[in-house]
Amino acid sequence: MLGSAFALALAAASQIVAAQYCEHQWEGDFADHDVDGVPYLQAEERIAAPPLEIRPLIVTGPSSNRVDLIFFGDGYTEDEKDKFFDDAMILATNLTDGQTFADVLPLMNFWAGFSASNESGVGVGGRPRDTVYGLYRDGTELRGVYYSKASVARAACQSTDACDYPILLGNDPYYGGLGGTFTVVTASPANGPAVLRHELGHSIIGVGEEYDGGQVYRGVNAATSVNSVPWRNWYTNPATEPKIQRNNMPIQAYPWTLLDASRPWSTTFTSAGTYDSFLLQFSISGVTATSDLRVELDGRDVGWEVNPIVGLDRWIYNMKFNESLAPGRHTLSYTLLNEEIEGTAQLCNLEIVEYGDDPEEFTFESQYHSLFPTYSATNSTTYRPTNDHCLMRTMHSPNFCDACIEGLWWSLLRPLSFFDSVTQVPEADGFTNVTLTLLPLAEFREIPRGAEAYTILWYGANSQPLAEWTNQTTALISQDLSQVSVQVSFWTEQVRSDPSGVLSDRRTITIE
């Protein structure tokens, strides 16, 4: 954080660039991740930063009082510089335009830092290309994308004040990413925004997963028992809570298998037969036509249809069946019908979830906050606030649940002050005009969002209220006062408790 990058932003402002998800959903998701949010960036490095051209994407204020996110491009050659700034802007816009981070955008800045790579794209088979940060995939699977030059990335981050959350953006059109000190994302049109917002959820809010089959469940959206529910304030119907929504996960699998046209891939599982409906979820990549693949449950074609916009990229399919699974054994099979895509068509992961009676035992209402069981990779149970509303569970949801949004406010406000600046101008009659610039929330937002308000209280000597200036960002202070103080309190409907006192700020101003 600090002035130089912001000055650069202002200088460049006129030329602003118009500018899972596969262990279950997000294999590799948590490697190298410290869930507490604060990235490990402080290390001294003798490695020089790469030459960086930093441009502002979305800048709401000075880096010294904003949480700065910055994209560093990897696998973009000199000729692909414009593509890098465009790709970064598409991601920044997607995350903030009316969704995901829109409510907290006034607390954030987005930047993009370009350094030319010698080679284009990201490596495969565990081998990085000749690029700035050395991004690569293991094998060709569309899941984790790793970096091999952490020290270069750290040096790049340390070379600018605008780097609280560094994002390594790989020049690659397919699904992939990683959470951790450096969030890694690709320029996948279908999946890039989803991967990025999910990984930032981990890094900024400090929460674990909400999807089944993960390893880390913690933070404001995770409860290990009905007696320790962090989102009690957000229950939709407190009178009936804590109520565990009834469901079960009879199978989860991560085949990561290339499909073979000569024999179907199949698996079996057992249902107790005591549920009312079920979901079949699976993800595949490298399949572009519905006629290329048949998915069957107990020999019956389930009617899978390809998402035509994803191309060869990976996609998670959710198929809900309003019927119960019979008690006993079931067979799920995937038959590749087009042998020309052998070697490309891949089944990544699958799971089945069964649900109790709707709505008595299980509610599907999207924003209903209650206790929904989540099953880890080892099938241990924790609870989450909503069924599938939150992007920490559902890849294609652009929304956080209420508990995550509250956590987002806490995390972003913690290092910031409500005062962007305080200026004093002497007036002719001996008075001083004191004017505050506050974080652009409430009435100071450029783009209005939900209900918010500032309360501004001015005090003179001995904490005597200066009531005539209440709720004003400017006051005329008489020369009798050598100092005043201002108490700013912020209210938003999105924060219902404030255990760390992030919603108010007091500033003592010595009159010059």
Ligand X SMILES: *[C@@H]1O[C@H](CO)[C@@H](O)[C@H](O)[C@H]1NC(C)=O
Residue numbers at the binding site for ligand X (CB under 6 A): 93-94, 97, 99, 117-118, 130, 132, 190, 193, 248-252, 322, 375, 379, 433, 435, 453, 455, 470-471, 474-476
CB closer to ligand X, 2 vs 116 = 116
Least distance from ligand X to the Cβ atom of residue 501, Å: 18
| Nearest-angstrom CA–CA distance, 362 and 279 | 13
CB closer to ligand X, 76 vs 235 = 76
Tell me which amino acid residue 63 is.
Answer: S
* Contact (Cβ atoms closer than 8 angstroms) between residue 155 and residue 146: no
SS percent in the chain: helix, strand, coil, step 5:
20, 30, 50
CB closer to ligand X, 35 vs 511 = 511
| 3-state SS assignment for residue 99 | coil
Least distance from ligand X to the Cβ atom of residue 148, Å: 11
CB closer to ligand X, 226 vs 453 = 453
Burial of 415 (0-12, 13-18, 19+ CB in 10 A): middle
Least distance from ligand X to the Cβ atom of residue 130, Å: 5
| Nearest-angstrom CA–CA distance, 14 and 9 | 9
Least distance from ligand X to the Cβ atom of residue 187, Å: 11
Residue closest to 30 by CA, chosen among 377, 397, 375: 377
| Exposure class string for 233-244: b at 16+ Cβ within 10 A, else e | ebbeeeeebeeb
CB closer to ligand X, 235 vs 454 = 454
CB closer to ligand X, 104 vs 132 = 132
| Nearest-angstrom CA–CA distance, 174 and 178 | 13
Residue 299: how many CB atoms within 10 A of its CB?
7
Least distance from ligand X to the Cβ atom of residue 99, Å: 6
| Nearest-angstrom CA–CA distance, 378 and 224 | 15
Least distance from ligand X to the Cβ atom of residue 118, Å: 4
- The full DSSP string for 20-78 is --TTTT-TTTTTT--TTS--S------SPPPP-EEEEEE--S-GGGSEEEEEEEES--G
**To 10 degrees, what angle do helices 81-96 and 192-200 make?**
60
Residue closest to 254 by CA, chosen among 344, 347, 317, 139: 347
CB closer to ligand X, 4 vs 118 = 118
CB closer to ligand X, 143 vs 198 = 198
What token pair was written down for 17?
């660039």
Least distance from ligand X to the Cβ atom of residue 311, Å: 13
CB closer to ligand X, 291 vs 379 = 379
Residue closest to 74 by CA, chosen among 126, 164, 148: 148
Q: How many CA atoms lie within 13 A of 117 on its CB side?
A: 28
Least distance from ligand X to the Cβ atom of residue 231, Å: 23
Least distance from ligand X to the Cβ atom of residue 11, Å: 25
Least distance from ligand X to the Cβ atom of residue 379, Å: 4
* Contact (Cβ atoms closer than 8 angstroms) between residue 508 and residue 485: yes
CB closer to ligand X, 257 vs 471 = 471
